[in-house]
Amino acid sequence: MELSQILGVEAVRAPLKATSKKRLLQDLADMAEQVYDLSSEAAYKALSEREALGPTGVGRGVAIPHARFAGVSRVVGLFVRLEKPVDFESIDRQPVDLVFALLAPEAAGAEHLKALARVSRTLRSEAICAKLRSTFDPNALYAILTETKSEQAA
């Protein structure tokens, strides 16, 4: 699975001025409504409920909030680079500034896991994260996220 299959340039925002984890999740839900015509309320509820099970801050300033809920027809992604890092209760206790959210249909078991694995592999790369942190241009961020997949697949 390529990131370009789940993420469009219109789903990349930077700089985002969220000041808390709660505000960030709401901003992501609002983006899901604007970009994918999903219910902001349902997306926020699903993301918040998933976070209550355990934080999705994976360390090194990266978070991958994800949730499944009715109303999503396929796995979709949202990426934001925060203007200032926020506390996300990450495993390394570092605030996050790179956030890739995934929203999936309730029945999308394998597809959701494939997308999560792809995002995780991409954002595990220190080189890719450094490139992402070097710009606030949404087009450049999208290019970095999508071009690196072809290189890694080789």
CA 58, CA 93: separation in Å to the nearest integer?
A: 10
Is 66 in the active site?
yes
Which DSSP letter does residue 4 get? G
| 8 A C-beta contact, residue 14 and residue 137 | yes
Query: CA 18 from chain center: how many Å?
Result: 14
Which uninterrupted H or E stretch holds 85?
Answer: strand 76-86
SS3 138: helix
* Angle subtended by helix axes 21-36 and 40-53, to nearest 10: 140
Of the candidates 6, 62, 64, 66, the residue annotated as catalytic is 66
How many whole angstroms separate alpha carbon 21 and alpha carbon 55?
10
Amino acid (one-letter) located at 24: L
The catalytic site residues sit at 66
